[in-house]
Structure 1
Amino acid sequence: MKNRLANIFPDTSFIYKVFYFFVFATILVLPFHKIFASFPLTFAGMAGVIALLFSGGVKSGNRNPEMLLWCLIFFAFLPGFFIANDQSLAWKDVSGKLYLFATPLLFFFLKPPDEKLFRRMLRLFVFSCLVFILVSISIAIYNFLMHGVSHFFYKELVRFTTMHPSYIGMYINFAIVITGIDFFRNNSKLEKKQRIFYLIALAIMFVYLLILTAKTAILIGGISLIWMFVYWGKKQGKFKLAITYLILALVLLSAIALSNKDIRTRVGMLFNYNEVNYDNSVLSRQYQWLSAWQLINDSNWQGVGADVSTDKLVEYYAKNNFQKGVDERYNTHNQYLQLVVDGGWPALLMFCIALAALLHVAYWSRRYMLFFFLLILSISILTECMFETLSGILFFALFGPLLIWEKPSKKA
């Protein structure tokens, strides 16, 4: 066991090898199950604490002070706790977000991994996402062949897991960013077969996003696709050719989308929605955001507390005749609005300051993976409360601090 760990995690003490083993396990499991992923991440935290106590980790700390900016994201949820009347109930909400504080704080003191190990962790996540896609498509094909039922869209496509399509789409978009940046950085060193593998992997992930039809994920994927072609065109001095390839890629992906009835229907919801079809998430968001905005204004932007925010939202859903919101007890499906509903303007201000500071650090240090990761976060939480679910908390708590470990790039 010890020798195997030494081969995978070289140049680290045994307890650090155990720490990285559980980090690897978390990365591998994360796309498949939100609950299971919490166990290896917790064990990684325990191993990390032991490493600090017995391997001199504290002495080698203070290498990435910006790591502590992630702790500010956790503090943004505390106003909702402090203004709550029932703080024991509010604590249940806040305690679930402790990963957002504990992980970056631990990573701040631990010795960063070397470049090779850092790349392995990111590539493992891409591998895990590709395996998820393979399993998902295989199950959909089986259901179609054996039962004659098409499950090649949205929730039906990921019904075998506990994950919501929006989160799967977010994970895959991050895997696309990792793969794209990795490809551009190492393009001159890659053999022809390796380049083909990268391009096939990217194509599979982009097509899966279309089939998944999580609309925000498709938007982020489109932004990533445009950036990749523009970046390649500028770097190679072939900007016009890059734009041509981009147009061809968009035409091809559009043709794939239009050829599938389920995809056409869901994309059509962006432009044609009505007051009857409650399955339309575009319409649902309209009612949720309207109700949240009314509640925020009536509370004078002071927040209502994390203990009663859902109850208050349900009251406003009822006033606006949004029965599904009442039955399902929806949150705001917008993290920015949810912060204000729970903790008022101080919560939103704290969150935005932390996010803006992280974006500033990522951009000026040329940590491009971190920068795009933060963009994915910023856009994804416009239509989902990603920090209100374990799927989002674990994803951001792990990869945010992890990407700060990336060495600043010297090249644009």
Structure 2
Amino acid sequence: MTKINWEYWQNLALVMAVITLPMPKYNLNTQAIILMIMVWLFSGDLFNKLKRIKIKKYQFLSISIWLFMFVIGLLYSDNLEIGFKNIIKAMPLLVIPLVCFSEDMSVKKVEYLLKWFCTSVICCALFSLTKATYFTYMNFGNYFYNYNLATLLNAHTTYYSLFCVGAILFFLYQILFNKNKIIYWLWMFFLLAFLYLLSSRMSVFSLGAGTFTLLYIKFGVRSLFSVLPISLVIVGALFSPNFQKREIGNSQFGTTTPTISSRILHWKAVVNAVKSDNVIIGGGSGTNKTHVYKSYEEYGFRKGAFHKYNAHNQFLEHFIYFGLMAFLVWSFCFWIWSKSLFKNQHPMLFSLMVVTICSMLTESILERQRGIVFFALFISLALSMKTKENEVYD
């Protein structure tokens, strides 16, 4: 009887998870994650897997803790149906770390996964540009712009911009730390052009932060000379035609973007809502957020009330669910991450973590599957990867 090569199937499941993440159909990524946990359950020695997880139990907990918080939050929730939906949605926060922390995640293996992720991001971007060209040729409208372009991938600009930033930083990492190949430059500039078409403001800031992170790890204090050029590029991008067109809502599809003042008003309304509800433990994982939408009305943020906007800030989003307890949990997470990554960090994964945290400042990343999987997968890889001192930098 032929023995099943479980390691092969586990690696294949991981590759499928990263490849399907940028793809238009959500169910493909869900199926890949289901395959990943099924292979994990039936392969290898469960005792040894749990032993590996125990070695990095705090790192594992720093990711999966949010699923446990949703389970606990169900105990004091008014709407159990919403609570169970949130628990199911957050399952990748447990499943993905289970697999990553129980496997042998070498630098070579992680970079192999990153290459597949970047390949998928590029292929999907080419696919959307092909569709946009066809629709423009058929006079269906201008799809080479912001949300209209992301719609062709069944994605929000926030998430696909996040994927593009991750891929750009991977190519920059290859150029700085490994091999300076022309193909890396070509794909990096292609994705920069695609990112410009998406016109996501936070993606520009997060890309600048991620770029500086790579430069600092590579050049140390000398990287401070890059602060001014990076800042000028960011300002130049924000005042470029595509970004300005979005600022004033001057597009064929009426796309608009929030101003700084409206976003601050948005966040004030969220804080006010939680303070009036239960500032210590929040509304629970099953909250219907009616108190938040009511607060939007009180603050004159009628658009947010009408469309039932989320907090557009991941830390405030968890504040709605769990109150001040959420900030205590986030403090634990940041402490674990900084302690783990500053000691023995991989430049690419460290920059991805910086990018993810930056994105969380203006978006509720963990409210949709793409954001949850991206967060769980790459933070897990960053914390579970085994590296020897100076292995990455030589």
How far 1:213 moved relative to its partner? 0.8
- Distance in 1, Cα, partners of 2:186 & 2:285: 45
Q: Is 1:296–2:274 an aligned residue pair?
A: yes
2:284 to 277, 295, 305: 305
Counterpart for residue 161 of structure 2: 169
Q: Is 1:280–2:257 an aligned residue pair?
A: yes
- Distance in 2, Cα, partners of 1:258 & 1:148: 28
Q: Is 1:265–2:251 an aligned residue pair?
A: no
Contact 1:291 1:313 in 2 (8 A): yes
> Partner letter of residue 275 of structure 2?
N
2:334 to 352, 355, 367: 355
Q: Give runs of aligned pairs for residues 109-120 of structure 1, distance below 5 A.
A: 110-120=102-112
Secondary structure at 2:43 match in 1: helix
Counterpart for residue 128 of structure 1: 120
Cα pair distance change 1:81/1:263, threshold 3 Å? same
How far 1:58 moved relative to its partner? 4.7
Cα pair distance change 1:122/1:294, threshold 3 Å? same
Q: Give runs of aligned pairs for residues 230-379 of structure 1, distance below 5 A.
A: 243=226, 247=229, 261-266=241-246, 279-282=256-259, 285-299=263-277, 301-302=279-280, 303-379=282-358
Taking only the aligned residue pairs, the percentage that are identical comes to 19
Contact 2:82 2:288 in 1 (8 A): no
Cα pair distance change 1:115/1:228, threshold 3 Å? closer
Cα pair distance change 1:78/1:278, threshold 3 Å? farther
Cα pair distance change 1:292/1:112, threshold 3 Å? same
Contact 1:366 1:409 in 2 (8 A): no
Q: Give runs of aligned pairs for residues 16-27 of structure 1, distance below 5 A.
A: 16-27=7-18
Cα pair distance change 1:67/1:60, threshold 3 Å? closer
CA deviation string 1:35-92 (max 9, x = no partner)? 3211111111110111145896456654544333322243344453332133343222
Contact 2:70 2:284 in 1 (8 A): no
> Partner letter of residue 370 of structure 2?
S
CA deviation string 1:266-287 (max 9, x = no partner)? 2568xxxxxxx99333365344
User: What residue ranges of structure 1 are gaps of 5+ in the alignment?
Assistant: 3-11, 270-276
Counterpart for residue 60 of structure 2: 67
Secondary structure at 2:151 match in 1: coil
- Distance in 2, Cα, partners of 1:255 & 1:382: 22
TM-score normalised over the length of structure 1: 0.81
Of 359-368 and 277-286, deviating more is 277-286
Secondary structure at 2:373 match in 1: helix
Cα pair distance change 1:92/1:15, threshold 3 Å? same
- Distance in 1, Cα, partners of 2:89 & 2:308: 19
Query: How many pairs does the alignment contain?
Result: 383
Cα pair distance change 1:214/1:299, threshold 3 Å? same
How far 1:157 moved relative to its partner? 0.9
How far 1:337 moved relative to its partner? 0.9
TM-score normalised over the length of structure 2: 0.85
Counterpart for residue 23 of structure 2: 32
Contact 1:333 1:384 in 2 (8 A): yes
> Partner letter of residue 266 of structure 1?
R
Q: Is 1:197–2:189 an aligned residue pair?
A: no
Q: Is 1:217–2:203 an aligned residue pair?
A: yes
Cα pair distance change 1:147/1:396, threshold 3 Å? same
How far 1:231 moved relative to its partner? 5.7
Counterpart for residue 273 of structure 1: none
> Partner letter of residue 264 of structure 1?
Q
2:93 to 94, 100, 108: 100
How far 1:265 moved relative to its partner? 1.9
> Partner letter of residue 291 of structure 1?
A
User: What residue ranges of structure 2 are gaps of 5+ in the alignment?
Assistant: none
How far 1:315 moved relative to its partner? 1.4
Cα pair distance change 1:298/1:380, threshold 3 Å? same
CA deviation string 1:107-152 (max 9, x = no partner)? 33x3314443332111101111111221222222222333173222
CA deviation string 1:225-283 (max 9, x = no partner)? 44455666669x8x79x759x84x87788777766x433222568xxxxxxx9933336
CA deviation string 1:154-194 (max 9, x = no partner)? 111111122100011111212223222233221xxx3xxx6
- Distance in 2, Cα, partners of 1:111 & 1:232: 28
- Distance in 1, Cα, partners of 2:345 & 2:17: 27
Of 339-348 and 306-315, deviating more is 306-315
- Computed over aligned residues only, the root mean square deviation of the Cα atoms, in angstroms, reads 3.3
> Partner letter of residue 301 of structure 2?
F
1:49 to 36, 41, 44: 41
How far 1:98 moved relative to its partner? 1.8
